[in-house]
Structure 1
Amino acid sequence: MNKRVTIEMPDEMMKLVEEYAAEAGAAPDAYVRDVIGQHLEDLHDIALAEAAMERLRKGEDQVISSEEFWRGMDD
């Protein structure tokens, strides 16, 4: 199910949305939806990276060299 969201933005921001959407060959609403979706994916990736760094700091995970990694693939 989809939900409708209405937002206010400065005229200059809307102008940029319209320009970038036109360059991408998309309607402004589809462009904004895509931009928000990409940002949410980026936030998810950042959270995963931060969790991985925390595991490294705590010693729960370790970094290995590419040689060690590929050597393990021979098994």
Structure 2
Amino acid sequence: MAISIRLSPDIESRLKNLAALTGRSKTYYVTQAIYEHLDDLEDLYLAERELEAIRSGRSTTIPLADVMKRYGMED
């Protein structure tokens, strides 16, 4: 899928310099940045959804001491 974006001159310059410095394409770095940010966003939204489930009573938590005991990691 092709996508068109507008970059600020500062970001464009940094991207161009990084690509020239490393011999990789600007597309490579844009793709890497998107993948990394998507991973972070997915984690954030999953955590927010789980927090809402806990606060509303649809989900519960397990105390750390119980988890440690369950897996034989007690002090």
Matches within 5 A, 1:29-68: 29-68=27-66
**1:69 paired residue number:** 67
Alpha carbons of 1:68 and 1:31: their partners in 2 closer, same or farther (altered >3 Å)? same
Aligned length: 72
For structure 2, the 5+ residue unaligned runs are none
Q: Distance in 1 between matches of 2:39 and 2:21?
A: 22
Once the two structures are overlaid, the 10-residue window that deviates more, 30-39 or 4-13, is: 4-13
TM-score, normalisation: structure 2? 0.73
Give the Å deviation of 1:25. Answer: 5.3
Task: Decide which moves more: 56-65 or 36-45.
Answer: 56-65
Residues 1:28 and 1:46: Cα distance change in structure 2 (over 3 Å): same
Work out the CA distance in 2 between the residues paired with 1:55 and 1:6. 37
- When structure 1 is superposed on structure 2, of 7-16 and 49-58 the one drifting more is 7-16
Q: CA deviation at 1:18?
A: 2.0
Query: What is the identity percentage for the equivalent residue pairs of Structure 1 and Structure 2?
Result: 26
Once residues 19 and 33 of structure 2 are traced to their aligned partners in structure 1, the CA distance between those partners, rounded to angstroms, is 10
| RMSD of aligned residue pairs (Cα, Å) | 2.1
Match of 2:5 among 4, 7, 14: 7
Question: How many angstroms apart in 2 are the aligned matches of 1:39 and 1:28?
Answer: 17
